[in-house]
Amino acid sequence: MTRTCDCSDCSKIRRNIADIFSALKIYGWMLDSYIVDFYLEDHWSKLPSSWKTLLDQIQPDELGKWILRQTNGRYIELFPIRKARVSQIRYQLIFSHQVYPLSLIALRSFIEKVEICRDQERKDASFKCVSRTEVEIRAEHDRTDDVPRNNKLLNDEKLDKLIMKHVKEKKRYEIPVMSEVVADCASKAKCKCVVDIGSGIGHLARALAYKYGLCLLCVEQNPDLIERARKWDDQLELTLRKRGNDLSETRSPHHASMWVSVKKSCELDQTLRANFDLEGSDELGYGLIGLHPCGDLGPTLLKLYATEPRNRFICVVGCCYMKLSQGGSAEAGYPMSEFLKRLPASETVEMSYNALEVSCHASENHCDKLVRNDYDDLIVHAYRAALEYLLAEKSPQLRRCQVKSLKSHGLTFQQYCQAATADLHESHRPSEDDCQRSDVLDMLLDWKRVLAFGSMRLMLAPLVESLLLYDRFLYLSELGFEPELKARFDPRLSPRNVLLTSIKS
């Protein structure tokens, strides 16, 4: 049985979804486009003329600052925003002596209004469903922490270094943040068991087990990763014992290979019971976590949480949205909420592979490169688009064919083409004369247009990710589980940085 929550954040999310679809009906074609088809399908000609005029005049660093909303006192806003809808925003922007088109200004302001804030430093920037009474909420805040923690190890800097051994830089940043959130959820949910789905080689699990004293079941399909995880568990435990650490209350993570689905949730219970010697129904409660589960795995975790009473909390950060299945079936990863499923087709927009794929990229890192004038490696997109033009001329069957991925820095276009097409038949590879044709040289001179078009796509990308996460939020809200969406990671270090959490009351 689903319900519609009328709290302020749920209502705002439903409005945002409707507005995002309205914007995508106008500008979604850019997200659906292939950059490699920039010249072949003449994407530039499809942009509004006022946009083309501006984008031809400004430098990449100025565009990067504008997309990042880095004002630095270099622009003047005239006429304040009246309403959030794209068509109703009216003001001008003067930036480096260029007048920005109203439609472009409106679009950027609209995106800022409806997207999920990606700034992890903004403590107030989150969406939280609140449907309970004030008495119930106060009771939750007042309840004590019954989950045992390894307090002796909690602030042990040497332990932190041992846990982070073999860990890559990105994970070194993510694991302390994620583990603290998970431990807090476990405390509030009054459970001490956690199931880490897609656990890989167990870095997050070791932090939760040895630092926070939680019982970890690590589910991973790759047997090689499981073997490596067990090896590093043993190494860490051996080192801690040599240091004289008391591990009497610590249980090392248990690693298991199983297929995760809603129909097989009982296997999780059985594995927890068998490996952690748990007694009583209370101890069998557990949390589900996923640090960047791929594609449909994220939605599967949400469905497991929703259907299994012993799942007491969930923490999940999505990834690889282009691998999501779509449709109205119960198995589909999108849409999940009844709200989206019931919207008429005329009020929605189908999510293309390209739109989902670009939503996985970090606009912040891209724009930082523009601001630093460090975009030599981005010029490869112009090279690749010009190469696509030549390949399509030789044979329609060569369109979007697989070529070698290269950086263009230091390469002429001819050198790039020869290296990129090394695996193709000689008759399909561009010749020296092809690379020197006047129309091709004109394309290469327009590399800034390719860069600008790609930047516009990345500016729009947060609309797609926000839409997907809003859908997941409403799915849990409709079932009465009071979810929360909040940016937890620095988007420059961890581009998929919004964490969806829920604790069953």
Domain boundaries, the chain: 148-347+475-503
Q: What pLDDT, in 10s, does the model give residues 280-330?
A: 555 568 999 999 999 999 999 999 999 999 999 999 999 999 999 999 788
- State the pLDDT at residue 79: 38
Q: Are 318 and 495 in contact (CB under 8 A)?
A: no
Which residue reads 């000609």 in tokens?
45
More confident residue, 408 or 142: 408
On the question of pLDDT at 343 being above 50, the answer is yes
pLDDT tier at 235, thresholds 50, 70, 90: very high
Q: Specify the pTM.
A: 0.90
Q: What pLDDT, in 10s, does the model give residues 183-225?
A: 999 999 999 999 999 999 999 999 999 999 999 999 999 999 9
Q: Which of 279-283, 346-350, 421-425 has the lowest mean pLDDT?
A: 279-283
Q: What pLDDT, in 10s, does the model give residues 396-405?
A: 999 999 999 9
Distance CA(305)–CA(314), nearest Å, equals: 7
Rounded to the nearest integer, the mean pLDDT of the chain is: 89
pLDDT tier at 149, thresholds 50, 70, 90: low
Q: Which of 106-115, 128-137, 211-220, 244-253 has the lowest mean pLDDT?
A: 128-137
Distance CA(348)–CA(346), nearest Å, equals: 6
339 alpha carbon, distance to own chain's centre:
22
pLDDT tier at 142, thresholds 50, 70, 90: low
148-347+475-503: what fold?
Rossmann fold (3.40.50)
Distance CA(285)–CA(449), nearest Å, equals: 55
Q: Which of 35-39, 51-55, 329-333 has the lowest mean pLDDT?
A: 329-333
Determine the average pLDDT of the residues in 44-54: 97
Distance CA(217)–CA(317), nearest Å, equals: 18
Which residue reads 């282009």 in tokens?
322
Q: Of the candidates 320, 315, 305, 319, which has an alpha carbon nearest to the alpha carbon of residue 179?
A: 315
On the question of pLDDT at 387 being above 90, the answer is yes
- State the pLDDT at residue 99: 84
Q: Of the candidates 420, 418, 498, 505, which has an alpha carbon nearest to the alpha carbon of residue 464?
A: 498
Determine the average pLDDT of the residues in 389-417: 93
On the question of pLDDT at 339 being above 90, the answer is yes
